[in-house]
Amino acid sequence: MAEPFIGEIKMVGFNFPPKGWAFCDGALLNSQQHGDLFSLLGNAFGGDGQTTFALPDMRSRFPIGAGQGDELTNYSRGEKGGVEEAPLHKMEASAIGNTGSGHSHENMPPFLAIYFIIALQGKFPPRN
């Protein structure tokens, strides 16, 4: 396997971060001990931006591309969104049907839980 770029994020099916990698779990790191990674991430994912910075926290989250596509919402790097549970709301209806069979359901796409890891060591990514 080629040496990763510092800050590279991968998904893995095993339950531990290999040497030189860490879970994307929001952990706070010392900015002096991990200077290269801090110079790339800054405090975009948390921390005080001076002595500490946070790794991205991908637990129970899915990624979305940063930036703005045509007629789409703009998302900045490190921005979080969404809600764990949709709030209940009351709806007035003039006609009542039996389509739900009296059972609730989740409005969630199929998913598979895996681990996200981030490279703490490796090559510093060159800019174009």
What is the pLDDT, as a whole number, of residue 46?
A: 97
* Residue 69 counted as domain residue: no
pLDDT tens digits for range 62-85: 898 999 999 999 999 999 988 877
Cα dihedral sign, 34-36-37-43: positive
What is the pLDDT, as a whole number, of residue 101?
A: 64
* Residue 43 counted as domain residue: yes
Q: Which helix (H) or strand (E) holds 34?
A: none
pLDDT tens digits for range 4-61: 999 999 999 999 999 999 999 999 999 999 999 999 999 999 999 999 999 999 999 9
Q: What's the Cα-to-Cα distance from 27 to each of 30, 61, 70, 114, 118, rounded to whole Å?
A: 10, 15, 34, 18, 11
* Residue 49 counted as domain residue: yes
* Residue 92 counted as domain residue: no
* Residue 22 counted as domain residue: yes
Residue pair 52/28 in contact by the 8 Å Cβ criterion: yes
- Number of domains forming the structure of the chain: 1
Of residues 81 and 93, which shows the higher confidence score? 81
Full residue range of the structural domain in which residue 122 is found: 1-61+111-128
Q: Is 118 exposed, middle or buried (0-12, 13-18, 19+ CB in 10 A)?
A: buried
Q: Determine the average pLDDT of the residues in 83-95.
A: 70
Cα dihedral sign, 24-29-31-32: negative
Residue 100 has pLDDT above 80, yes or no: no
The chain-wide mean pLDDT, for the chain, equals 90
* Residue 34 counted as domain residue: yes
Of residues 87 and 17, which shows the higher confidence score? 17
Full-model pTM: 0.82
* Residue 12 counted as domain residue: yes
Q: Where does the pLDDT of residue 121 fall: very low under 50, low under 70, confident under 90, or very high at 90 and above? A: very high
- DSSP sequence for 49-118: SSSEEE--B-TT-----SB--TTS--B-TT-----SSPPP-----SS---TTTT------------EEEE
